[in-house]
Amino acid sequence: MADPGADARKELDWDLHIHVPTQGVRKSVRVTSDESVGALMIKIAEKLGDADWSDYALWWPDNRIWLNKPRQSLYAYGIMSDAKLEFSPVHRHLTVELPDRHRYQVRVNFAVMTFFTVCEICQELNVRHPEEMSLIKSPDDKEGYAKLTGWAKRKGVKHRGGSREGTPSRGDGDTLSVDSGDILGHSPPSSPGQRRRKYPNLALAPSQRSEIGMSGSTHLGEAETSLFSDKLYRTSHERTYINGLWLDSSKTLYEQDVNAHDLLYLRFKYFSFMDIDPRVRTKSTMLLKNATY
């Protein structure tokens, strides 16, 4: 049955305000309620000029959703003349820490569900069965976590905006700078009399790391300490807080306040393993490290 108000909506056109963060400009596009998202994106691309806009999509900040259905109409999404949309790229860089504490900078899609993002990361890092794993937010930039656990005080570092000693901090552009240690994962020398535990890194062979670097990911080194150690989380309140940091697999990263260059932890979440083969060193070592830290 035809919608009786469809003809009326086609006659009404209005200005929709679009913000393009990468260009630092705002555009107004004349649209109708029955216009599709794909047609709107074509109009935006025409106004911005000749360039490759294939990696761009529309984000609605007020409702915190991606308009990722190009055939869906603006009316179906509930977009009116007061809506403000962002036209931004969907692929961005993340810093991901594996269970063996090694960190990589990977390029992922922010407009898909977190489950598919985990599959993308695991495929990039040669990790089998990504359905067993998920991502945890970094609690470094959570003032409530530092206040609850006193982690910053216990580690002797100041809690400032998510950066700490040994953690990659956001620099200019897409680069990351490491505060301590070098890019190859070598740690600074320990103080006299301090005994450091050393674990062999078997999760990714050197040949695999070179392949990862060539495929677009960057090895950032090894973290000095792990936030997911039983030595740090001793109370039930702390463990409850950490369990609340798991990302929802059915939502996108943007919907869960994850931005470009943020630090996420790739960990085993579901302990019904598809297969455990001792000949597969990567998965065996990651399981060991996940249990150790």
Residues 153 and 284 in one domain: yes
Chain segment 126-158, per-residue pLDDT in tens:
888 888 889 998 775 455 555 555 555 444 444
Separation CA 219–CA 12 (nearest Å): 53
The DSSP code sequence of 32-53 is ETT-BHHHHHHHHHHHH-SS--
SS3 122: helix
Residue 1 in domain: no
Give the end of a domain, one of 54, 89, 124.
89
**Residue-level pLDDT at 255:** 93
Give the end of a domain, one of 89, 116, 151.
89
Residue 223 in domain: yes
- CATH label of the domain that carries residue 22: 3.10.20.90
Residues 144 and 74 in one domain: no
CB atoms within 10 A of CB 245: 17
Residue 249 in domain: yes
Our count of domains for the chain comes to 2
SS3 116: helix
Give the end of a domain, one of 50, 74, 89.
89
Look up the domain containing 85 and give its range. Answer: 6-89
Is this model's pTM higher than 0.85 or not? no
Separation CA 223–CA 179 (nearest Å): 11
Please give the structure tokens belonging to residue 17: 């305000």
Residues 205 and 103 in one domain: yes
φ/ψ of residue 209, rounded to 5: -65, -35
More confident residue, 111 or 157: 111
Average pLDDT over residues 112-121: 94
Residues 171 and 46 in one domain: no
Chain segment 43-63, per-residue pLDDT in tens:
999 999 888 899 999 999 999
Half-sphere CA count of 230, side-chain side, radius 13 A: 4
Residues 31 and 104 in one domain: no
